[in-house]
Amino acid sequence: MTHSMRMYSLQIPGLLFCILFGFAGPSLVSAESQDQVSIAGGEVKMGSTLCSDQFGNADWCSDETVHTVRINPFMIDKYEVTNEAYKACFAEGVCGPNELHDSRPDDFNKPRQPVMFVTWEDAQTYCKWKGGRLPTEAEWERAAQADFSGEAVFGQKYNVGAPSEVGSVSPSSNGIFDMFGNVAEWTADWYAPYPTGETQENPSGPKEGKDKVIRGGSWTSAWYQLRASDRVARTPDLRYSDLGFRCIREMK
C-alpha cells in the first residue's frame, strides 16, 4: 500500500496514546492567550529517522526525510475545535453542511468533544471565520515538538471507542492539548514528498494536489502513528470519524 493510500480505520477503537519525548532544546513558547499559545519562530527540523531505523523504510513512513525549515512565529489553538464551537459557526450559516448533531452517535456528539466529519474546506472556513487559518505542516510539527527534539516515543494502552473531550489529558510542555491521539488534524498543505536542498522559509507545500496532509494520529491509531513527524494523505472533500482540526493566527 502506498503512503497516499493509507487511511486510519474508522471503525476499530484506538490502541495506544503516545507522548513525545526527547532531548531538551530551546523553549518554543513565548506567550499565551486565553485560547491560544504563542510559538516562537526560527529553525525547526522536520521529519524522522524512525522509519529507516525501525521499519526498514516501509512505504507508509518513507516520506519523513529529515530536513530543516524556518518559520515565523504564530499563535495556535490550545484545543482542537469542539462540537460546540463549530456549532456556533454552523448556526450562523458560515460553516457546513456537515450532518452536525443530527445523524451522529451520541459517543461523537458531546459538546466538548472535537468536531469530526468535517471536510478540509469546512475546517478552513471555520478558521477564517475565527480570524485565522489551518496550520501548515511545518507549523503543526513545530508546535507538536514542544520543548523537545529527537525521536523517542512513549506509548500507553487505552481502550477507547470514541474521541475524548478536549483537554482530558495533560498538555504538552508548551500548553497545547491533544496533539497526538484524540483526533487527527487537517493541515493546509497538499501532500507531496518533502523537497530537498536548501532550507525553506515558511514552506506551505505544493500549489495543487490530490490529497491534503493530516497530522497527529487519532483514537484509531497505533503507537507509531502518534508522532510529530507522521504524515498521512487524506481526500479533502470527504468526512472522517477520526479527523478534526485546530486553527492558527499569524503574529504581526
Domain-by-domain residue ranges, the chain?
Answer: 3-250
Sheet with 29-32, side-by-side order of all strands: 29-32, 36-39, 74-77, 248-250
The label of the residue with cell 483514537 reads 219
Which position has the higher pLDDT, 122 or 60?
Answer: 122
The CATH class of 3-250 is: alpha beta
Tell me the per-residue pLDDT of 75-131, one tens digit each, with 9 for 90 and over.
Answer: 999 999 999 999 999 999 999 876 554 556 677 889 999 999 999 999 999 999 999
Rounded CA-CA distance 92/106 in Å is 23
Query: Phi and psi (nearest 5°) for 31?
Result: -165, 170
Nearest alpha-carbon partner for 186 in 167, 207, 212: 212
Q: Which residues contact 9 (CB under 8 A, 6 or more apart)?
A: 220, 242
Q: Does 33 have pLDDT greater than 60?
A: no
